[in-house]
């Protein structure tokens, strides 16, 4: 499957252009007890955090990516929070009036279909 590369800030900056389409992007994945989100340090202003879900067809590029992602997402037990810089393929959705995620606080959602790479956030 061939997908277009789109900068994360471009997705959230021009959502009408990318709504309900599949893209590859790079962003920081953050998870805690109530949130799973993607964001970029290049566009941190309000509304630029994107709720994430995992598509039922979700996959890793290989077993080492899966292991690295799991280590970064949950660096200790119990797992209070974690983050990782990801290259991902997924479907961009939104904005919607009622919101996505915890307390419907997110205007957009990115449904992850594939994690290509996972790195520690520097």
Strand partners, 38: 29, 50
Strand partners, 51: 37, 109
Q: Which residues of 45-77 are buried (b: 16+ CB within 10 A; e: fewer)?
A: eeebbbbbbeeeeeebeeeebeebbeebbeeee
- Kindly list the structural domains of the chain, giving each domain's residue range(s) and its CATH number in brackets, ordered by start: 4-119 (2.40.50.140)
- 119/50 Cα distance (integer angstroms): 19
Both tokens assigned to 97: 């009036």
pLDDT digits (tens, 9 = 90+) for 23-81: 999 999 999 989 999 999 999 876 789 999 999 988 888 889 999 998 998 888 888 89
HSE-CB at 114 with a 13 A cutoff on CA atoms is 11
pLDDT of residue 27: 97
pLDDT digits (tens, 9 = 90+) for 88-109: 999 999 998 899 999 999 999 9
pTM: 0.90
Report whether pLDDT(1) > 70. no
SS3 54: strand
SS3 80: coil
**How would residue 2 be classed by pLDDT, with cut points 50, 70 and 90?**
confident
pLDDT of residue 46: 66
From residue 44, how far is each of 34, 39, 69 by CA, in Å?
20, 7, 23
pLDDT of residue 83: 94
Report whether pLDDT(85) > 90. yes
């Amino acid at each position: 499957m061939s997908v277009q590369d789109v900068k994360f800030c471009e997705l959230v900056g021009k959502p009408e252009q990318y709504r309900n389409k599949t893209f590859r992007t790079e962003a920081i994945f953050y998870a805690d007890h109530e949130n799973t989100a993607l964001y970029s340090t290049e566009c941190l202003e309000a509304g630029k955090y994107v709720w994430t879900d995992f598509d039922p067809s979700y996959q890793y590029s290989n077993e080492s990516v899966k292991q690295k992602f799991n280590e970064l997402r949950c660096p200790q037990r119990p797992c209070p929070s974690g983050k990782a810089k990801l290259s991902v393929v997924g479907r961009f959705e939104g904005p919607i009036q009622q919101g996505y995620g915890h307390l419907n606080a997110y205007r957009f959602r990115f449904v992850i279909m594939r994690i290509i790479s996972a790195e520690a956030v520097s």
